[in-house]
Amino acid sequence: MQITALSCGRPQGNSAALADYFLQQLTGFATTSHHIQLATAAITPCGNCEYRCFSGSCPYDDEADAILSKLYSSDITALFVPTYGGLPPATWVALMQRRQSMDWKRQNPRQFLVGVVLANAAGATSKEHTPKIIEATVADWGAAKTAYMQVEPREHQQSSLTPDLILAGDVQRKLSGIVDKIYVWHQGRTANQI
């Protein structure tokens, strides 16, 4: 069982802490687990390529294809996406733009996809758009089973600037509830689905 968590915020921030907690909860369940820190990845955003990906392959040679391949091939994939100025981080947007160079509409009947948004309307320049963007991404991913969770740090008396959000008992309970759903889902699959 391959499990991949993608944290899209600061390497030592709340997204990374939640991703680590999630992977820790599934330790005995995974044969391999990976925590990809998107903030440290080199990903070129789409542009100035004349849509070459529609008639061949993407002209950019960076980490995007490897990361996307890992996300799509894992049995369980969890996306931990914070909000910066009301939107997902720019590296997340670049990675999702680059999905068009892949067969990103493929179905994965073995995959459980989790989307977790760390919303923070206080820093938004207009209003908070990240939850709708990530919820739509999860719905459109092509996984067999999905779960979505939104966390507002200030609802838990936590700051977005410190990585303490995972210490809130309610946040742990919600994330553990998703882990429980993963266990139930996996137990309900037949041998040819695993």
- CATH assignment at residue 89: 3.40.50.360
For residue 175, pLDDT beyond 80: yes
Confidence of residue 193 (pLDDT cuts 50, 70, 90): low
The pLDDT tens digits of the residues spanning 104-126 come to: 556 566 789 999 999 876 655 66
Q: 18-22, 24-28, 55-59, 99-103: which has the highest mean pLDDT?
A: 18-22
Our measurement of the distance from residue 112's CA atom to the centroid of its chain's CA atoms, rounded to an integer in Å, reads 12
Which residues are within 8 A (CB) of 192 and not within 5 positions of it... i.e. 6 or more apart? Answer: none
Mean pLDDT of 19-28: 94
Stretch (H or E) spanning 32: strand 32-37
Domain that holds residue 103: 2-187
Listing DSSP states for 89-103 in one string gives: -HHHHHHHHHGGGTT
The answer to the question of residue 194 being in a domain is no
125 in any annotated domain: yes
When divided into structural domains, the chain yields a total of 1
The per-residue pLDDT for 84 is 87
- Higher-confidence residue of 11 and 56: namely 11
